[in-house]
């Protein structure tokens, strides 16, 4: 089950955290995996290759149309197709609307919304030529419920949710599925960096605060998101499109 043998998967933001976990799981299931990241992401690629998988690093700023065009052309030139796109690249911001500047809003929009748009547009063009494919977007629990002090981030993830539904309905008859995952807090290097920068000396205390937001009592692990992504991008999920899947440790039912 969940065999991705000979499929070509593009994972944006695959250099670390959730993206790296998804890329590793996909490669382990047989996918040829392109790690698209603003940095070269050789660490993820080296780890996949060391485990016997197939991967390449494709440096790309997903907010730039020319860079996205070059990246997808490079993947298609190398492997001839794109079967799966995971739009995982994203950035965060902490603050209410009063604490969010126009520059903050534009910065998040450029990566979290424009980036998903540009990469999806490039992938759809390829998938239509080859007869189908799968797009999986990384939304957030913040696209489904209110999260305090996350105005700009929530706005962008709400856009990801509705883009997911639009792509799903527009291409359901043409062999392209599109879903999104909505995680609660995930224990990633980004979170650790955030704690060090904002709560020096109080990291353990604040890590527990973040963990306790989920009724299950901990943050999600990146590989747990990756296993859900594997299902949604596999042929076992062939009947699933236009859906948002929370992975939230009980936030929505608390």
Whether residue 65 lies inside any domain: the answer is yes
Helical spans, DSSP H, in 64-202: 65-79, 102-108, 115-130, 151-171, 189-198
Answer yes or no: 153 catalytic. yes
pLDDT in tens, 231-241: 999 999 999 99
Do both 215 and 175 map to the same domain?
Answer: no
Do both 173 and 97 map to the same domain?
Answer: yes
Tell me: pLDDT of 156 over 90.
Answer: yes
Whether residue 165 lies inside any domain: the answer is yes
Q: How many other CB atoms sit within 10 Å of the CB of residue 141? A: 25
Q: How many domains does the chain have?
A: 2
CATH number, domain of 145, equals 3.40.50.720
Do both 228 and 197 map to the same domain?
Answer: no
Residue 191: predicted pLDDT: 86
Stretch 180-190: mean pLDDT, rounded?
93
The CA distance from 180 to 131, in Å, is 21
What band does 11 get if pLDDT is binned at 50, 70 and 90? Answer: very high
Do both 70 and 179 map to the same domain?
Answer: yes
The CA distance from 223 to 177, in Å, is 22
- CA distances to 25, 182, 211, 222 from 185, rounded to whole Å, are 20, 10, 8, 10
**Owning domain of residue 201:** 186-219
The CA distance from 241 to 210, in Å, is 31
Do both 140 and 242 map to the same domain?
Answer: yes
Whether residue 254 lies inside any domain: the answer is no
Whether residue 73 lies inside any domain: the answer is yes
Do both 160 and 191 map to the same domain?
Answer: no
The CA distance from 164 to 186, in Å, is 21
The CA distance from 195 to 200, in Å, is 7
Whether residue 237 lies inside any domain: the answer is yes
pLDDT in tens, 113-149: 999 999 999 999 999 999 999 999 999 999 999 999 9
Tell me: pLDDT of 40 over 80.
Answer: no
Do both 65 and 24 map to the same domain?
Answer: yes
**Phi, psi (deg, nearest 5) at residue 3:** -80, 125
Residue 198: predicted pLDDT: 79
Do both 60 and 74 map to the same domain?
Answer: yes
Do both 17 and 141 map to the same domain?
Answer: yes
Whether residue 3 lies inside any domain: the answer is no
Choice among 109, 153, 199, 213 that is catalytic: 153
Do both 191 and 178 map to the same domain?
Answer: no
Whether residue 106 lies inside any domain: the answer is yes
Residue 196: predicted pLDDT: 87
The sheet with strand 133-138 has its strands ordered as 54-59, 32-37, 8-12, 84-87, 133-138, 176-183, 244-247
Do both 191 and 236 map to the same domain?
Answer: no
The CA distance from 7 to 202, in Å, is 44
- Whether 184 and 249 have beta carbons less than 8 Å apart is answered as yes
Do both 18 and 133 map to the same domain?
Answer: yes
Stretch 207-234: mean pLDDT, rounded?
96
Q: Is 122 helix (H, G, I), strand (E, B) or coil?
A: helix
**R_g over Cα of the chain:** 17
């Amino acid at each position: 089950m969940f065999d991705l043998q000979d499929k070509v998967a593009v994972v944006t933001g695959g250099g670390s955290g959730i993206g790296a976990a998804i890329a590793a799981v996909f490669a382990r299931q047989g996918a040829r995996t392109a790690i698209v990241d603003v940095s070269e992401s050789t660490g993820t690629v080296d780890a996949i290759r060391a485990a016997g998988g197939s991967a390449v690093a494709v440096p790309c700023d997903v907010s730039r149309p020319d860079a996205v065009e070059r990246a997808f052309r490079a993947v298609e030139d190398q492997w001839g197709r794109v079967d799966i796109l995971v739009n995982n690249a994203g950035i965060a911001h902490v603050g209410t609307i009063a604490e969010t500047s126009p520059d903050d809003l534009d910065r998040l929009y450029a990566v979290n919304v424009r980036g998903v748009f540009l990469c999806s547009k490039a992938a759809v063009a390829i998938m239509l030529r080859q007869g189908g494919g799968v797009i999986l977007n990384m939304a957030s629990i913040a696209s489904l419920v209110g999260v305090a002090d996350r105005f700009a981030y929530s706005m962008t993830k709400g856009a990801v949710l509705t883009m997911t539904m639009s792509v799903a309905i527009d291409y359901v008859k043409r062999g392209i599925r599109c879903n999104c995952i909505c995680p609660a807090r995930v224990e990633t290097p980004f979170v650790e960096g955030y704690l060090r920068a904002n709560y020096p000396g109080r990291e353990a205390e604040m890590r527990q605060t973040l963990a306790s937001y989920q009724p299950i009592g901990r943050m999600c692990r990146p590989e747990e998101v990756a296993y859900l992504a594997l299902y949604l991008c596999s042929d076992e999920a062939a009947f699933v499109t236009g859906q948002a899947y929370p992975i939230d440790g009980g936030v929505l039912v608390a």
